[in-house]
């Protein structure tokens, strides 16, 4: 310690704080200058105070900008953003038809049950075709799958728009489902492959936020266009946007994709248990990769990935041992880590879709307002969900993923219970659902990051299986909650959704243990 500091007389450094004048010998500061206080030197002038406030504001802005950048601080931001935008387009088309039911039903002179068949055909096709697309994504050109799938999806919606009959509209939804099925196995596998383990959470958070944006924008945009120009024009306009985006995706992809993706050889199945942790004592774990089912004589000799056309040719002309292929698929699905992930995504899909499906109905019944209020509550929930995805992605990269998912399930159950039991008003209920949307959708980056860590080389196959499991859960959850609503009340139905969320707590804990053990 310096002598001056020890004596308590060390002055402030004027070079550091020029607006402060210290005491000088013989006179107090107050005697020399009325603007000087006897305790802390000269008071700040209005100019100095403004300058200090400006510095503080600039510092706050800098900190906010730094935090915002950290939310999207991924290894390959260009590719992650482009693939995530494709996710938004995919989700946009997935929900483009239901908001048009008020126009479709009277316009086609059909019932709501018939109109719902459009959605049923789309999602059944979407789910079924994900499984064969997964192995294609493991081996063949990702750009072709993403661009081709988006274009086919848009063309299917265009067919619905111009169809003169309802059966032809169903055919259009089938085509759209085939195109849409290519996204999740390909896009999520692509993000997993180009990102490191340390950024899986944030990259999946960006991915989820863009998907939520597509879900939120679809009803507002298509209903607005339909109100002005009719439902056919709304669907056709959406289809044109999809085709334009597919062309943009084709042009931008080579600019943002790492060079290793274009020059890498076709990926071979990893000798892991599906956890991405390398070889294990149990020996090679089976993969759904098509390369193991196609005779070696038929495999492309080039060191680069075959084109999509070549992929289709090999798929339909190569000799395949169906018994051996079926055996590999069965072993893959029976792997402990795969079973754990299937269980996790079944619960995630059931929980999210059940709550999402009955949000508007529960909200209107709770406060006694009309359908427009319920729609507004659903919009608030989905906007909060988009914010949750990107913030949760940041948290997933800093907190143990299993615990994060477990906390999301538990928080969802608690918030749903609070919405049922506490006396919310029409003004406070949106706040409750904003919180619910946040904790409900925060589980997605955690679950996807857990799956990404278990992907190994067969990432396309893995995400095909997990997304199919989520789709099955998404169909079962609303049905089960609907049964409770018919048998009892909407309050008990919402509590049943909370029960599904509680089931996720042990499932998340079990999944984390199995995947971690398999990776070790």
Q: Is 278 left (phi over 0), alpha (psi -120 to 50) or beta?
A: left
- Indicate if the pLDDT at residue 285 is higher than 80: no
Cβ neighbours for 149, distance < 8 A, ≥ 6 positions apart: 133, 179, 180, 181, 182, 183, 186
pLDDT in tens, 182-198: 998 888 888 888 888 78
Distance CA 377, CA 394 (A): 26
Which has more confidence, 112 or 89? 89
Residue 219 is predicted with a pLDDT of: 79
Distance CA 434, CA 191 (A): 28
Residue 58 is predicted with a pLDDT of: 61
Contact of 381 with 359, CB cutoff 8 Å: yes
Which has more confidence, 75 or 413? 413
- Indicate if the pLDDT at residue 18 is higher than 50: no
List the one residue out of 355, 402, 287 whose CA is nearest residue 498. 355
Grouping H, G, I as helix, E, B as strand and the rest as coil, residue 445 is helix
Residue 491 is predicted with a pLDDT of: 92
- Indicate if the pLDDT at residue 347 is higher than 90: yes
Cβ atoms < 10 Å from Cβ of 153: 30
Q: What is the average per-residue pLDDT within 199-203? A: 82
Whether the model clears a pTM of 0.75, i.e. scores above it, the answer is no
Residues of the chain with CATH 1.20.1250.20: 76-262, 333-520
- Indicate if the pLDDT at residue 449 is higher than 50: yes
Domain with residues 333-520, CATH architecture: Up-down Bundle (1.20)
Residues across the chain: 520
Cβ neighbours for 474, distance < 8 A, ≥ 6 positions apart: 349, 350, 352, 353
- Indicate if the pLDDT at residue 40 is higher than 80: no
Contact of 419 with 494, CB cutoff 8 Å: yes
To 5 degrees, how large is the angle CA 506–CA 508–CA 513?
95
8-state DSSP, 493: H
Q: What is the average per-residue pLDDT within 27-37? A: 46
Q: What is the average per-residue pLDDT within 419-429? A: 94
Residue 160 is predicted with a pLDDT of: 94
Distance CA 386, CA 376 (A): 15
Contact of 84 with 207, CB cutoff 8 Å: yes
Type and span of the H or E element at 41? strand 41-42
Is residue 334 very low, low, confident or very high in pLDDT (cuts 50, 70, 90)? confident
Q: What is the average per-residue pLDDT within 282-298? A: 41
Distance CA 380, CA 386 (A): 10
CATH number of 76-262: 1.20.1250.20
pLDDT in tens, 294-333: 434 344 444 455 555 565 555 555 544 545 555 666 666 7
Contact of 352 with 361, CB cutoff 8 Å: no
Residue 45 is predicted with a pLDDT of: 55
Is residue 21 very low, low, confident or very high in pLDDT (cuts 50, 70, 90)? very low
Cα-Cα end-to-end distance for the chain: 52
Contact of 266 with 314, CB cutoff 8 Å: no
Is residue 291 very low, low, confident or very high in pLDDT (cuts 50, 70, 90)? very low
Which has more confidence, 162 or 399? 162
Distance CA 361, CA 377 (A): 10
Grouping H, G, I as helix, E, B as strand and the rest as coil, residue 320 is strand
Grouping H, G, I as helix, E, B as strand and the rest as coil, residue 40 is coil
List the one residue out of 175, 180, 207, 181 whose CA is nearest residue 192. 207
Distance CA 376, CA 388 (A): 18
Structure tokens at 309: 């056309």
pLDDT in tens, 454-484: 766 677 888 888 888 998 888 888 888 888 8
For the chain, state the CA radius of gyration: 28
Helix residue ranges per DSSP H, 27-100: 29-32, 46-71, 77-94
**HSE-CB for 323 with a 13 A CA cutoff:** 0
Residue 395 is predicted with a pLDDT of: 84
* Average pLDDT of the chain, as a whole number: 77
């Amino acid at each position: 310690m310096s002598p001056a500091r020890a004596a308590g007389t060390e002055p402030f450094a004027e070079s550091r704080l020029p607006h402060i004048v210290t005491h000088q010998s013989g006179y107090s500061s107050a005697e020399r200058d009325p603007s000087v206080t006897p305790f802390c030197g000269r008071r700040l002038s209005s100019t100095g105070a403004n300058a200090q406030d400006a510095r503080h504001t600039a510092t706050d802005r800098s900190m906010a900008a730094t935090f915002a950048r950290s939310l999207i601080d991924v290894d390959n931001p260009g590719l992650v953003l482009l693939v995530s935008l494709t996710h938004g387009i995919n989700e946009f088309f997935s929900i483009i038809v239901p908001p048009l039911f008020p126009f479709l039903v009277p316009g086609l002179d059909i019932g709501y049950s018939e109109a719902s068949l459009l959605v049923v055909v789309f999602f059944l096709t979407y789910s079924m075709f994900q499984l064969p697309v997964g192995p294609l994504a493991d081996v063949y050109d990702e750009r072709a799958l993403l661009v081709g799938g988006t274009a086919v999806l848009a063309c299917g919606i265009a067919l619905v728009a111009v169809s003169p009959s309802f059966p032809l509209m169903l055919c259009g939804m089938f085509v759209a489902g085939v195109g849409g099925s290519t996204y999740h196995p390909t896009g999520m596998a692509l993000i997993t492959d180009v990102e490191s383990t340390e950024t899986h959470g944030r990259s999946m958070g960006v991915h989820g936020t863009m998907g939520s944006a597509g879900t939120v924008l679809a009803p507002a945009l298509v209903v607005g266009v339909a109100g002005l120009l009719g439902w056919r024009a709304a669907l056709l306009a959406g289809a044109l946007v999809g085709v334009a985006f597919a062309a943009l995706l084709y042009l931008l992809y080579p600019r943002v994709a790492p060079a290793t993706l274009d020059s890498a050889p076709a990926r071979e199945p990893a000798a892991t248990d599906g956890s991405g942790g390398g070889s294990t004592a149990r020996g090679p774990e089976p993969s759904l990769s098509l390369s193991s089912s196609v005779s070696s004589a038929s495999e492309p000799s080039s060191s680069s990935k075959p084109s999509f056309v070549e992929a289709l040719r090999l798929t339909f002309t190569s000799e395949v041992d169906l018994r051996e292929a079926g055996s590999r698929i069965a072993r893959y699905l029976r792997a402990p880590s795969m079973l754990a992930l299937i269980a996790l995504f079944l619960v995630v899909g059931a929980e999210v879709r059940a709550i999402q499906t009955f949000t508007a109905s529960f909200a209107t019944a709770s406060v006694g307002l009309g359908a427009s209020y319920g729609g507004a509550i659903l919009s608030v929930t989905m906007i909060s969900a988009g914010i949750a995805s990107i913030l949760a992605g940041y948290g997933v990269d800093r907190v143990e993923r299993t615990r994060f998912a477990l906390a999301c399930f538990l928080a969802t159950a608690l918030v749903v219970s609070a919405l049922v039991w506490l006396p919310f008003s029409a003004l406070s209920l949106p706040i409750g659902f904003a919180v619910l949307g946040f904790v409900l959708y925060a589980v997605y980056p955690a679950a996807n990051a857990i799956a990404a860590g278990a992907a190994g080389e067969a990432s396309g196959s893995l995400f095909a299986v997990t997304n199919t499991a989520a789709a099955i859960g998404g169909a079962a959850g609303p049905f089960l909650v609907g049964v409770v609503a018919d048998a009892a009340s909407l309050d008990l139905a919402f509590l049943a959704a909370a029960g599904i969320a509680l089931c996720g707590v042990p499932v998340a804990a079990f999944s984390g243990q199995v995947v971690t053990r398999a990776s070790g």
